[in-house]
Chains A and B, each alone.
Chain A
């Protein structure tokens, strides 16, 4: 493996790790706020 391969691997790990944390936070927020909204409307 060249040094560039290691750099690419590190950036992929960062993108996947932080990207999935932010995506999970967004999806749980959307689901919870929609559930609260539905309950308010009932």
Chain B
């Protein structure tokens, strides 16, 4: 892993991977959503509103997965002090926050016709809102220090502490009474009909690739910004 945590080696992989993940992701998302909207059947209970599944569920999965990535990056920052792990931390947080926000808003829109309310303070919804606040907290902490490495360390501590929220989100529908339905897809199988499951998995793969492309773009931006800052500092010292 340490071998790949080299910014120069990373850039050699990231430059061709960025457009590849973006265009492939866009094509797969378009396919998955068109499949879900125009070809998949409506639900016998929820009717047409079930079509929100194809954007709400992938964004929920990905905002949780990105937070797990944030925790792993935070661990690498604190233990190995990898400069690339700091970049991953700073790149993942805003993109994960965007996915968490989309998940919360689309869930709220789904809740209105299904439950008759935009929002309830139950375990699943509240723990997802806490996830968004954790993302925002990591971003704020990383920007609160003049020295980027110190900000990354503080952000890493919060990212690691916030990992405890992931099992709370996952099991909230089992631990507490909630309006939110329990998990439909588990390790033992799926209760979703294959006519809906395949477009869901397709759009999830597409959204994952789009997220990967956005994270790669942010990582490239942060590496370039650090290069500019280092070179500017060197030039200022040479001129002095």
By a beta-carbon cutoff of 8 Å, the part of chain A in contact with chain B is: 1-4, 6-7, 9-11, 13-14, 17-18, 20-22, 24-26, 28-29, 31-33, 35-36, 39-40
A36's partner among B47, B55, B214, B227 (CB-CB below 8 A) is: B227
List of A residues within 8 angstroms of B110 by Cβ = 6, 10
Size of the B side of the interface (Cβ < 8 Å), in residues, is: 40
* B213 to chain A: closest residue by CB: A22
Please determine whether B102 and A14 come into contact, CB atoms closer than 8 angstroms. Answer: yes
B220's partner among A2, A7, A33 (CB-CB below 8 A) is: A33
By a beta-carbon cutoff of 8 Å, the part of chain B in contact with chain A is: 18, 22, 33, 37, 47-49, 51-52, 55-56, 59, 94-95, 98-99, 101-102, 105-106, 109-110, 112-113, 207, 210, 213-215, 217-218, 220-222, 224-225, 227-228, 231-232
Given A7-B52, A18-B98, 17 other A-B residues pairs in contact with their CB atoms under 8 A: A3-B48, A10-B55, A10-B105, A11-B33, A13-B102, A13-B105, A18-B99, A18-B210, A20-B98, A22-B214, A28-B221, A29-B18, A32-B224, A35-B224, A36-B225, A36-B228, A39-B232
